[in-house]
């Protein structure tokens, strides 16, 4: 879009010389804050309506501004309005284009407002929208996990502590752990939302305004549930952005842990899953390879989200009240956080839905070839009155001799069992069968199949309720 005015004309008559071109570029945020344009327009429309309602401008002028802003929005959507570097930022760009369209009345839009409360409003509107998107994406991800879990209630998988075989699990139980983690993410985002949902509009540059504005009315138009109590806090608070980056970081922690597991599971060493061609890549030199790029990228991208959280914290720690230009630096961190988390959620949802197949035979077989039923032998004796610690020591010895003999617990004869302790009966074989070992852990929240079925039910109804 042609633009005759130069940026310096934005400033008052106090300025005589133009900005050095390199400094203009350095100062400008239009390259990235264009992301806010629709929210900027919406915020300005509410501001214009408020100005008209309070009689600060006439009703007709208010109408003109609202319509003109809508036209800027349509031009932008149609690709006809592409503000460039000479615009400094999105706020100036919109105001200038508006004035080109509606004439002098456009110059009234900025009455009783500053870019400081304006940018704060835009950022909150943006984040409210993105939090809504993210929560929906988490719901989709959870429902994919639930579908997989439903199919794999009776599929067994080795459970680990210290990445050493510990006790066998229902695969559904394992997957449901991620449903719980992401449930907290979903809730946390809802909690952060409460603090994003506060309007700073009308805080002015820092001290409020001499005009008889109605902050509550403008906030209501924008769907904010509260307004900032204090104008200085209103223009300089970025707690909500930090809280969001923290919630986003935790989402990434959870996605990255699952990513790491998928990477392990897909390795030749584990062979628990097969990656489908749609979600794996090959090597340019080693023809046999199928690489888990998707989970690796998710794991890798987690670092940059953590980095943004750190950047925001450090950005804020030394800022005197109120607005400082440093605050312009919050945007790229926020935008990239949103984009990265959304991209990772989408990719992991596809991966878990259709990108991998659990090798159920291999999984069921894996739990048959280890000592992960050793606790159950100790439990068996303990249930027959042998003090648990004593039973534990006895079984430790059995494991040692079995390992030396190249045997598994299920290979011991009844005589051998009885030599260890007379309390062993023939039902020991049943007691240490992996399926039974899993089923028996029927305590609330445990991996027993009945528990897992109930947990699945609870998770499903939670999904429905909140939808």
Active site residues: 162, 283
CA distance 419 to 248: 57
Interface residue with ligand ARG, options 71, 328, 342, 368 (CB under 6 A): 328
Give the one residue of 162, 317, 325, 464 binding ligand ARG; rule: CB under 6 A.
325
Query: Is residue 323 a contact point for ligand ARG (CB under 6 A)?
Result: yes
For ligand ARG, the closer of residues 82 and 454 by Cβ is: 82
Q: Which is nearer to ligand ARG, 33 or 243 (CB)?
A: 33
Q: Which of 89, 95, 117, 379 binds ligand ARG (CB under 6 A)?
A: 89
Torsion region of 103: left, alpha or beta (phi above 0 gives left; psi -120 to 50 gives alpha): left
172 and 152 Cβ atoms separated by less than 8 Å: yes
Smallest separation (angstroms) from ligand ARG to the CB of 35: 11
Q: Which is nearer to ligand ARG, 116 or 375 (CB)?
A: 116
Could you say which of 47, 96, 97, 115 contacts ligand ARG (CB under 6 A)?
115
The answer to whether 72 and 101 are in contact (CB under 8 A) is: yes
Instruction: Report the phi/psi class of residue 202: left, alpha or beta, with left for phi > 0 and alpha for psi in -120 to 50.
Output: left
What's the min distance (Å) between Cβ of 463 and ligand ARG?
Answer: 38
Q: Are 119 and 44 within 8 A, CB to CB?
A: no
How many residues sit in the footprint of ligand ARG (CB under 6 A)? 11
Tokens 């028996």 identify what position?
440
Binding mask 356-395 for ligand ARG (x = CB under 6 A): ----------------------------------------
Residue 157 CB, shortest distance to ligand ARG, in Å, is: 49
Please state the closest distance from residue 213 (CB atom) to ligand ARG, in A.
Answer: 19
To ligand ARG, the closest distance from the beta carbon of 115 in angstroms equals 4
Q: What are phi and psi of 274, to 5 degrees?
A: -110, 130
Q: Which of 425, 436, 430, 431 is nearest to 377 (CA)?
A: 431
Q: Tell me whether residue 123 or residue 155 sits nearer to ligand ARG (CB atom).
A: 123
Q: State the DSSP string of 226-243.
A: EE-S-HHHHHH--HHHHH
Q: Give the residue with the Cβ less far from ligand ARG, 33 or 376.
A: 33
Nearer to ligand ARG, 38 or 89 (CB): 89
Q: Which residue is nearest to ligand ARG (CB)?
A: 328
| Residue 201 touching ligand ARG (CB under 6 A) | no
Q: Under the criterion CB under 6 A, does residue 155 sit at the interface with ligand ARG?
A: no
Say which residue the tokens 């990445």 belong to.
163
In angstroms, the first-to-last Cα distance of the chain is 42
- Reduced to 3 states, what is the DSSP secondary structure of residue 160? strand
Q: Least CB distance from residue 99 to ligand ARG, whole Å? A: 18
Provide the minimum distance between the beta carbon of 174 and ligand ARG in the complex, in angstroms, as a whole number: 44
- CA-CA-CA-CA torsion sign (295, 299, 300, 304): positive
Instruction: Identify the DSSP state of 425.
Output: -
Distance CA 212, CA 464 (A): 46
97 scored as a contact of ligand ARG (CB under 6 A): no
Q: Judge whether 280 and 370 are in contact, CB under 8 Å.
A: no
d(C-alpha 409, C-alpha 372), whole Å: 10
Judging by beta carbons within 10 Å of its beta carbon (0-12, 13-18, 19+), is residue 427 exposed, middle or buried? Answer: exposed
Query: Which window, 113-121, 240-248, 279-287, 299-307, contacts ligand ARG (CB under 6 A)?
Result: 113-121
User: In the range 11-50, which residues lie near ligand ARG by CB under 6 A?
Assistant: 29, 33
Binding stretches for ligand ARG (CB under 6 A) = 29, 33, 89, 91, 115-116, 119, 323, 325, 327-328
């Amino acid at each position: 879009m042609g633009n005759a005015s130069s940026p310096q004309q934005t400033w008052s008559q106090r300025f005589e010389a133009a900005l050095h071109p390199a400094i203009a570029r350095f100062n400008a945020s239009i390259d990235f804050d264009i992301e806010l344009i629709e929210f900027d327009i919406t915020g300005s429309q509410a501001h214009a309506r408020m100005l008209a309602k309070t009689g600060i401008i006439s009703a007709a002028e208010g109408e003109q501004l609202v319509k003109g802003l809508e036209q800027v929005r349509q031009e932008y959507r149609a690709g006809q309005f592409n503000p460039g570097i000479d615009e400094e930022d999105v706020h100036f760009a919109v105001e200038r284009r508006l004035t080109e369209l509606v004439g002098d009345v456009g110059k009234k839009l900025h009455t009783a407002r500053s870019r400081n409360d304006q940018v704060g409003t835009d950022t909150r509107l943006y984040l409210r929208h993105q939090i809504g998107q993210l929560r929906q994406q988490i719901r989709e991800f959870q429902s994919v996990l639930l579908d997989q879990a439903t199919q794999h209630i009776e599929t067994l998988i080795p459970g680990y502590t210290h990445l050493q075989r510990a006790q066998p699990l229902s695969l559904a139980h394992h997957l449901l752990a991620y449903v719980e983690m992401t449930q907290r993410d979903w809730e946390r985002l809802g909690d952060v939302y409460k603090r994003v949902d506060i309007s700073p509009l009308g805080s002015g540059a820092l001290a409020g305004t001499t005009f008889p504005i109605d902050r509550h009315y403008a906030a209501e138009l924008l769907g904010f549930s509260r307004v900032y109590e204090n104008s200085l806090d209103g223009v300089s608070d970025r707690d909500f952005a930090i809280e969001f980056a923290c919630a986003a970081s935790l989402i990434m922690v959870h996605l990255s842990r699952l990513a790491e597991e998928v990477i392990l599971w897909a390795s030749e060493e584990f062979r628990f899953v097969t990656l489908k061609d749609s979600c794996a890549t090959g090597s340019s030199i080693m023809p046999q390879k199928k690489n888990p790029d998707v989970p690796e990228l998710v794991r890798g991208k987690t670092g940059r989200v953590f980095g943004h959280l750190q950047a925001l914290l450090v950005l804020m720690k030394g800022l005197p009240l109120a607005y400082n230009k440093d605050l312009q630096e919050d945007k790229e961190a926020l935008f990239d956080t949103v984009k990265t988390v959304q991209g990772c959620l989408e990719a992991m949802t596809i991966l878990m839905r259709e990108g991998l197949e659990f090798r159920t035979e291999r999984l069921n077989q894996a739990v048959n070839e280890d000592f992960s039923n050793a606790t159950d032998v100790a439990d068996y004796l303990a249930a027959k009155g042998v003090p648990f610690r004593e039973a534990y020591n006895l079984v430790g010895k059995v494991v040692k001799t079995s390992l030396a003999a190249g045997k598994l617990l299920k290979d011991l004869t009844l005589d051998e069992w009885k030599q260890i302790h007379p309390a062993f009966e023939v039902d020991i074989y049943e007691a240490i069968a992996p399926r039974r070992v899993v089923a028996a852990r029927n305590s609330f929240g445990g991996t027993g199949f009945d528990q897992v079925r109930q947990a699945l039910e609870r998770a499903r109804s939670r999904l429905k309720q909140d939808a």
